[in-house]
Every structure is written in C-alpha cells, then in structure tokens.
Amino acid sequence: MTTPLEHPGVETSVLDSVLRIELNRPTRRNALDSDSVAQMVSVLEAASTDDGLRAVLISGRGDNFCSGADWVATNSDPAERPRTGSLQRRTPLQAHRLIDLLVNIQLPVVCVVRGWAAGLGCQIALAADFAIAAESSRFWEPFVSRGFSPDSGATWLVPRLIGVARAREFLMLGHELSGVEAAACGLIYRAVPDADIETTGQQLLDELTSAATVALGLTKQCINRSLQSGLTEAMQNESFALEVSSRSHDFKEGLLAFQENRTAEFRGR
C-alpha cells in the first residue's frame, strides 16, 4: 500500500501482511498533533481497501502509548491559535474520523499499550478490537478535570465496554485505571507483565493473520452493529455476512480442511 502523506510523528510500515502504525513523538509521550492524526486517517483509509493486509497494529515508541491530543502545541503561539469554532469544524474530520475508521475497518486492529494511554490515546486503544496493555500502564480520561467534556467517541466506547456506572467514574470523576484494572473490568482485552507485551502482541497477530480475514472483518462488523440493533436486525446482518463469507476462498479451504481432518491454511481471501 502507498500513503499520500508523510509525517515524522507517525511511522508506518507493512510486514507479514500487517499494517504497523507506530506513534513516534516519545519526548511528548506520543501526543498527537493534527498532522499526526491526518497521517493515521490517510493510512487507515488506504488500508481499508488493501486486499493484501490482514491486520493492523498500533503502538507507541518509547515508554508511553499516547498521551492524547497535543493541546500545548496547538495553543503555544497566541498568533497561530485556531480561531473560534476550529474544534467544531476540524474534529469530525480528524480525531472523530480516526476513531470511526478503527471501529469500522474490516481488519482486526491490535493496540499494544505501554505507559500512558490518555484522552485520544485512550480512545484509540478502546476502539481497537484487541488492546493488550502492560500491567503497569495507565488509562486515563482527563477531560473533565481539565475543564472540558470528552470527545473522540469516549462517551460511546466506554459505557459499552464497562457499563454506565463505571463509565461515570472513569469519564466524570477522571479516575485512572492500571492495565490490570482495565483488563479486569473489561475495558481492554488483556494485561500482561511488562516484559511479555511484545511477545504477547506478536502471538495475537500471528493468530489473526492466519485466520479467515473476510470472516473476521464481517464478524467485527456484525458485533458493532448488534450494539445498536434488536435481535431480528442482528440476525439479518449475520445472514448477509454469511452470504459474503461463504463465497470466499477461505470458506472453501475451511470446508476442505474439515473433510481432510487437517488444519486450514487460510490466505485471507
């Protein structure tokens, strides 16, 4: 795949059919400025139609995953500050578009989290299909404690993951959660000892990239839609997904492997 934008705050590569996105501003705890977000949006839009990809990995260079949007950089020069209404105009096309892509792209998304995942960084991890965190990592929604309200899907993602009561504590009181606590309450997929995070992340990627990619993507789509539908509509969505996935090469391989009593060798098509 090719990416039309380049920005040093985000490094991207493709290895073993995995799109790897690394946040690369360690001196700012990998805070995301507008150019970094635009780069991620551009890369994910290209990935959504790239048939050679089978998974997405997002990580942060250094000791932290992502400390959120870089408000300091945005407001450091009074002469260059955005005019009134800038957030309302830009956010739907930047941070909100990024979260929407992570939730809806028909590829499994894995986040590997060390250190801080705060604000927009926390939302990126929660929008992933599988967030693996170091036990010592910290998840934090600092919005209200800074005097403004949450954005980038926080009020949609958090209640669906941990329920309304815990969401109020996390979003309104701003209580931090360790990686262990986040996994225990269902906010993320798994917490592991800090030394094991790279190995665990790679094992999960190996499992996902050897699976039936079409079926994985359609299953992800059905799960997300089911949260906003009744049983009848959910089953209708499943029937459409079944129709599509049963026409894939991997479906035929899965049947043949079952008949031959062997492990299927899926190609992601």
Dump the DSSP string for 63-124: T-SB--B-HHHHHS-GGGPPPTTHHHHHGGGTHHHHHHHHHHSSS-EEEEE-SEEETHHHHH
State the virtual CA torsion across 73, 75, 78, 80 in degrees, nearest 10. Answer: 60
Provide the whole-model pTM: 0.89
The model's pLDDT over 148-204, given as tens digits with 9 standing for 90+, comes to: 889 899 999 999 999 999 999 999 999 999 999 999 999 999 999 999 999 999 999
Q: What's the mean per-residue pLDDT of the chain?
A: 90
Please give the domain boundaries of the chain with CATH numbers for all domains.
10-209 (3.90.226.10), 213-259 (1.10.12)
Q: Is the pLDDT of residue 235 over 80?
A: yes
pLDDT at 1: 58
Tokens of 215: 């079926």
pLDDT at 147: 87
Cβ count near 61 (within 10 Å): 14
User: How far is residue 267 from each of residues 214, 215, 248, measured CA to CA in Å?
Assistant: 10, 12, 10
Place 145 in a pLDDT band, splitting at 50, 70 and 90.
confident
Residue whose C-alpha is closest to residue 69's, from 110, 99, 104: 99
Place 234 in a pLDDT band, splitting at 50, 70 and 90.
very high
Residues 196-220: what's their mean pLDDT? 97
Radius of gyration of the chain (CA): 19
pLDDT at 81: 60
Cβ count near 11 (within 10 Å): 14
The model's pLDDT over 97-138, given as tens digits with 9 standing for 90+, comes to: 999 999 999 999 999 999 999 999 999 999 999 999 999 999
| Residue count of the chain | 269
Residues 70-94: what's their mean pLDDT? 56
Return d(Cα 234, Cα 231) in angstroms, integer. Answer: 5
Residue whose C-alpha is closest to residue 67's, from 6, 139, 148: 139
The burial class, CB within 10 Å (0-12 / 13-18 / 19+), for 181 is: middle
pLDDT at 146: 83
Q: Do residues 98 and 126 touch, judged by C-beta distance below 8 A?
A: no
Return d(Cα 139, Cα 236) in angstroms, integer. Answer: 36
In 173-263, which ranges are continuous DSSP H helix?
Answer: 179-184, 197-209, 213-226, 231-245, 249-259
pLDDT at 94: 79
pLDDT at 92: 47
pLDDT at 91: 54
Q: What is the largest CA-CA distance in the chain?
A: 70
Residues 240-264: what's their mean pLDDT? 92
